[in-house]
Chain A
Amino acid sequence: MDIGKFLRKLSGKDWGVHPDDHKRPAADARVRALPIPPRVHLMLSQHVGAPSRPVVLIGQKVLKGELIAAAQGNISAPLHASTSGVVSAIGEIAAPHPSGLSGMAITIDTDGEDKWIDCDPVADPFALSAEEIARRVADAGVVGLGGATFPSSVKLNLGRRSSIDTLIINGSECEPYLSCDERLMRDRTDDIVAGIRLMLISTGAKQARVGIEDNKPAAIAAMRAATSGHAEIEVVSVPARYPMGSDRQLIIELTGREVPADARAADVGVIVHNVGTAYAIQQAVCLGRPLVSRLMTLNGAAAAAPGNYEVVLGTLISELVAFTGGTRGEPAKLVMGGPMMGMRLPHMQIPVVKGTSGVLLLDGYEAADSEPDPCIRCGSCVKACPMGLLPLEMAARIRNDALTDAVDLGLKDCIACGCCAWVCPSRIPLVQYFVHAKGELSSQDRAKLRNDATRKLAQQRQERLEREAREKLEAAARRKAERAAQAAAAAEAKAQTKTASVTEGESA
């Protein structure tokens, strides 16, 4: 045990877990490009924010990189054809979702030529203004490729507005099994560095720190060599432990700053981007190429050819698996993303999206499914939680339907990293509890909003009725008063006539 680890253990700052990383041999295999499939299915919602709006018609011919759906709203991203072909359908298909929900997608029958539109390369990208870089990034549909899929341009602009001093590049890739970021750092090192420099310009940050876990020495060496001429970019080797790649944890590790609860990284002068995003930004700004393909990892004991693959967006997972020689035995679990936070998929007829960092075909041993036992209060989950929560207590509250108590214990601070469930000897699906409770809370919030709205409507109606009644009464009173006035006037007139006639009579 090295001394650092020992000290951390002593001081109790030993958050997180140390799963077997399972990265090799997949990480060391040469990257292969997947041939263009006969069809691609591009989900309209593959980023955080509003889904993009189709701007093509069925039957329309499109080229690779052509805009097929535009961003709508402040937080959104456009979508581009990932290869050349003809738009054959716009409709619902099975989306990347654990329960196999469907989502809107544009389907393109590919022509196999993979012909690009005329891209718009820039001769000297580093002379571009910050706004121009962000605009090109936005137009290229670049989103956070670490899995968060937040539109990158929004983050770049936010950085410029909120006085960021440090740009953090997340190359930690702390999820086991995945190695696409590592591959990218080893194979496209210079492009990534160019992307980082562009991001520095665009955010206005003075320095960049690239955090890479120490289980990727080759990536660290390559990145160090490529950044040696750039004093503003520092490559830092961080200890390999999960979830090092989580924003708050990485920010502490690299800057010592703790992001307050309910605040954003930008509030402490930091912004975090993934290395894959840096690469996509370089492609978008320097070459004018929109985000239409990505590097992703295929791994797991049931995968026939574990490795990293260059895949055009919209390729069905079944195509990838078929190309790589099928499965080795029946996979017990199919996961999109990493084993700790990835999403379990019901079948393989699901397209690759921008956030797909990998597909895992886990065998029964790796999937480690078994029935939960009762909690033995061992405290392992407490020790493992990187957020300082009490998973066992939160789960107990949720089991008793005491959601507010669970919130008081910090439920909303839970990042669903899965450390607690991973260590739990009783194999209690703790994250499932938390996800369920958060869902329950947000639907309660929605119901409350609805109730409030209903109550407001009812109140307005009541007020309107009262007002109308009041007005009616007033009108009636007015009319009555008018009538009374008229009557009085008439009576007076009559009296006057009478008096007049009397006077007349008298005078006669």
Chain B
Amino acid sequence: MTQVDLQMPSGGQAVASPHAHGGNSVRRTMLQVQVALVPATLFGFWLYGWPAFFLWAGTILSCIAWEALSLRLAGSARVRPTLLDGSAVLTGWLLAMTLPPWAPWWVALVGGFIAIVIGKQVFGGIGQNVFNPAMVARVALLVSFPVSLTQWVTPMPLSAVAGPDFVDGLRIFLSDLPMPDAISSASLLGHVKTELSRGVDMAAALGGAHAPASSWLGVRPGSLGESSAGLILVGGLFMIGTGLIGWHLPLAMLAGLAIPAAIASSVDPTRYLGAAQHLLSGAAMLGAFFIVTDYVTSPNTRSGQLLFAFCVGLLTWVIRTYGGYPEGMAFAVLLMNAMTPVIDRFFKPRILGRDRRGKALDLPDSERG
């Protein structure tokens, strides 16, 4: 039997039907996701100033550069179309959203390398990777450079006089100076974790700037694009509305996180964070709408997706509550990414005219009598 290269049928045209197309394309899909990211991203720029913008641009550029380099080295004939499909940009963008807003240039460079080269191209490029590239990079960075990756800045909006201007921003991005104490701060989850370990009780730990209301708004220390739950929700609803993603994945992930949180905090509110704090802090919202919904690394069927996303939520709660890392989402996603092929094997749609195991249905003799 001959191996047919149907990826590129002779003459570039398929002879088989259909002869029309719905008009969707990889590029369009990626662009729409990027549009959905815009509100939260702009808010991040406003909140954390120019350094955040440089980090964002730097991470994206680094991803594009690494993608181009690996395609060139692999001798790909499709360097241009692959770069233009926008997937590297999206990976870089998503990674930047999860980074501390004042992270220096080498975080962008190394992060891009891990995401694109190790997270994606090693597996064979777009569509082949098992793990979410942005999460691979995020976790690898966090494990390797725990100090740099947990330097949160106190929000100082662009409008504020004290914030760094364009040149200062560039200097911060390029210089890797240790952050002055005055502007560094802990994220909510990190803060709670340390306070609890110091024996402070939950109500006291949650005082002041860490109230849930500020989480909806997002004026608080945190990653570049994770701060404003409300704006991420806006982007997420846009994607659901345009049919880009289903509602199943986000809802299941948030449920997986909220249900154990609600139960635990109602049992012992002094030791466990409530559902609202869990949902509104860290990468929960970003994860629910932009990370677990990643096409490549999530299961194909609706039931599989529900299970997958619920487990991500559940694991996030477990890691946040009992594990060493307050930001558990990335770990949870990677763990479940590894399970995706298994889930896909067990959750298949029912074929019409067959039962779940693939056996043809019985003829309805009795029914017609």
**Interface residues of A, Cβ cutoff 8 Å to B:** 12, 17, 19, 98-99, 163, 165, 176, 248, 257-263, 267-269, 333, 335, 339-344, 360, 362, 366-380, 382, 385-390, 392-393, 398-399, 401, 408, 410, 413, 416, 418, 421-429, 431-433, 435-436, 440
Contacts and interface: CB of A to CB of B under 8 A. Distances in A.
* Interface of A (DSSP majority class): loop
Given A340-B18, A374-B126, A376-B296, 6 more contacts: A12-B302, A99-B15, A339-B19, A370-B25, A386-B352, A422-B21
A362 B363 contact: no
A167 to B, nearest CB: 15
Interface string B297-309: 0001110000000
Given A267-B363, A376-B26, A440-B1, A261 B19 contact: no
A347 to B, nearest CB: 14
Nearest to A379: B300
A83 to B, nearest CB: 31
B349 to A, nearest CB: 4
A350 to B, nearest CB: 15
B8 A371 contact: yes
Interface in B22-51: 22-26, 28-29
B7 interface: yes
Of B85, B295, B349, the most chain A CB neighbours within 10 A belong to B349
Contacts of B87: 376
B25 A427 contact: yes
B17 A413 contact: no
10 contacts: A258-B353, A267-B363, A343-B17, A378-B29, A379-B295, A386-B352, A429-B6, A429-B9, A435-B16, A436-B4
A261 B361 contact: yes
A318 B91 CA distance: 52
A444 B350 CA distance: 28
Nearest to B349: A388
Interface of B: 1, 3-4, 6-9, 12-26, 28-29, 81, 85, 87, 125-128, 295-296, 300-302, 348-354, 358, 360-364, 368
A418 B18 contact: yes
A418 B3 CA distance: 23
Contacts of B349: 382, 385, 388-390
Contacts of A366: 20
Contact of A19 (B1, B22, B300, B363): B22
B28 to A, nearest CB: 7
Contact of B81 (A98, A268, A371): A371
Given A367-B19, A374-B126, A421-B18, A392 B300 contact: yes
A427 B13 CA distance: 11
B301 A426 contact: no
A407 to B, nearest CB: 11
A374 B302 contact: no
A436 B363 CA distance: 31
B364 A418 contact: no
Given A413-B352, A429-B14, A268 B6 contact: no
A263 B26 contact: no
A428 B16 CA distance: 11
Contact of B24 (A340, A343, A398, A423): A423
Contacts of B19: 333, 335, 339-340, 342, 344, 360, 362, 367
Nearest to B246: A383
Contacts of B14: 369, 421, 429, 431-432
B7 A372 contact: yes
Contact of B23 (A368, A369, A388, A401): A368
A401 B300 contact: no
B16 to A, nearest CB: 4
B296 A382 contact: no
B300 A382 contact: yes
Nearest to A428: B7
A440 B23 CA distance: 30
Contacts of B300: 377, 379, 382, 390, 392-393
Contact of A176 (B1, B3, B20, B353): B20
Given A269-B368, A386-B352, A410-B351, A340 B361 contact: no
Contacts of B364: 257, 268
A260 B20 contact: no
Nearest to A362: B19
A340 B20 contact: yes
Contacts of A435: 16
Contacts of B352: 248, 258, 261, 386-388, 413
A375 to B, nearest CB: 5
Given A259-B353, A373-B85, A339 B8 contact: no
B363 A268 contact: yes
A388 B351 contact: yes
Contacts of A258: 352-353, 361
Nearest to A360: B19
A433 B300 CA distance: 20
Contacts of B358: 408, 410
A423 B24 CA distance: 7
B354 A261 contact: yes
B28 A425 contact: yes
Contacts of A427: 21, 25
A330 B361 CA distance: 49
Contacts of A263: 353, 360-361, 363
A388 B21 contact: no
A372 B7 CA distance: 6
B362 A390 contact: no
Nearest to A399: B6
A339 B364 CA distance: 35
A449 B1 CA distance: 17
A199 B252 CA distance: 51
A422 B18 contact: yes
Contacts of B1: 401, 440
Nearest to A367: B19
B350 to A, nearest CB: 5
7 closest Cβ pairs, A-B complex: A418-B18, A429-B14, A261-B353, A260-B361, A368-B21, A432-B16, A339-B20
Of A386, A408, A426, the most chain B CB neighbours within 10 A belong to A426
A341 B20 contact: no
A416 to B, nearest CB: 7
A213 to B, nearest CB: 18
A398 B3 CA distance: 9
B243 to A, nearest CB: 9
Nearest to B20: A339
Contacts of B85: 373
A368 B76 CA distance: 25
A467 B300 CA distance: 61
A390 B295 contact: no
A429 B349 CA distance: 22
Contacts of B351: 261, 387-389, 410, 413
A380 B24 contact: yes
Contacts of A369: 12-14
A376 B16 contact: no
Nearest to B362: A260
A342 B7 contact: no
Contacts of B353: 248, 258-263, 413
B250 to A, nearest CB: 15
A103 to B, nearest CB: 18
Of A260, A344, A398, A440, the most chain B CB neighbours within 10 A belong to A260
A371 B80 CA distance: 13
A367 B3 CA distance: 27
B350 A372 contact: no
Contact of A163 (B4, B125, B368): B368
A304 B337 CA distance: 53
